[in-house]
Amino acid sequence: METADLSHHISRRFNADLERVRSKVMAMGGLVEEQLAKAVAALIDGDSNLGVTVARDDYKVNDMEVSIDEECQRILATRAPAAGDLRVIVAIIKTITDLERIGDEAEKIGYIGSRLASMERPADKYREIKHLGRIVAEMLHEALDAFARMDAEAAIQVAHKDRVVDEEYEAIQRQGITFMMEDPRNISRALDVMWVVRALERIGDHAKNICEYVIYVVHGKDVRHTRLEDVERELRDRGDSA
């Protein structure tokens, strides 16, 4: 009886630890989303001060990563989680790494936006970047939502959007090369735009990674480097045979 009570007590405390860490991850995700939105806005609006602010605030994302990682290490050392609980901790550690890297990409966009603010804005007011930024921001938000709910089906659907991001990225890259060939005066700005869309494309990749961690937690399967169609087919076959 005493053993059962102790086991229940430990389990309850572990669940409290886990929920606290998950809440911190979502808070970090919210901060990263805010950083991304501000970075893109700084570039679109030509707001140099906002771009610098985004870049300088990257330390907040870094600090949150370190804090959450330390908490996860403590849980691993004191709770010795197994099976599904261990997968959650592993997924959290991987997720905060991707969130920190998204923060780095937002920092990069902030710096470039600050620099471009001193130049005359193009007639299209960076329409392509605004469009791609919206797609990536939605993808990141939905990936974090799938993580919060541990919804593998939603995660798969979000991961599919990475292809749209890649297609948009490639189209803007081709357009930039054309601009540089037509007028060498466009080279400096076009290169900066290419760096920005590259950063947005990388953010899409990190959002996809978060989706893959959700699938790992829910189904216990590492789907990195696996075609999404193959993942969907295998999970569907598992469901049919269950």
CA 43 to CA 159: how far, in whole Å? 26
What is the mean pLDDT of the segment spanning 140-147? 97
Q: What is the DSSP string of 15-40?
A: HHHHHHHHHHHHHHHHHHHHHHHHHH
**Chain segment 53-64, per-residue pLDDT in tens:** 999 999 999 999
CA 208 to CA 142: how far, in whole Å? 10
Sign of CA dihedral 231, 135, 144, 194: positive
Full-model pTM: 0.90
Residue 9's pLDDT band, with cuts at 50, 70 and 90, is: very low
CA 33 to CA 146: how far, in whole Å? 15
2-241: CATH number: 1.20.58.220
Is the pLDDT at 117 greater than 80? The verdict is: yes
187-196, 205-214, 231-240: segment of lowest average pLDDT: 231-240
Sign of CA dihedral 53, 59, 62, 63: negative
What residues contact 193, with CB distance under 8 A and at least 6 apart? Answer: 126, 128, 129, 172, 176
24-38, 70-84, 194-208: segment of lowest average pLDDT: 70-84
> Which residue, chain included where needed, has tokens 């808070």?
27
Strand spans (E) along 98-205: none
CA 146 to CA 155: how far, in whole Å? 6
Contact predicate 51/110, CB 8 Å: yes
CA 80 to CA 88: how far, in whole Å? 13
CA 238 to CA 242: how far, in whole Å? 6
Give the side-chain half-sphere CA count within 13 A for 236.
7
> Can you read off the two tokens belonging to residue 211?
């989706």
Residue 121's pLDDT band, with cuts at 50, 70 and 90, is: confident
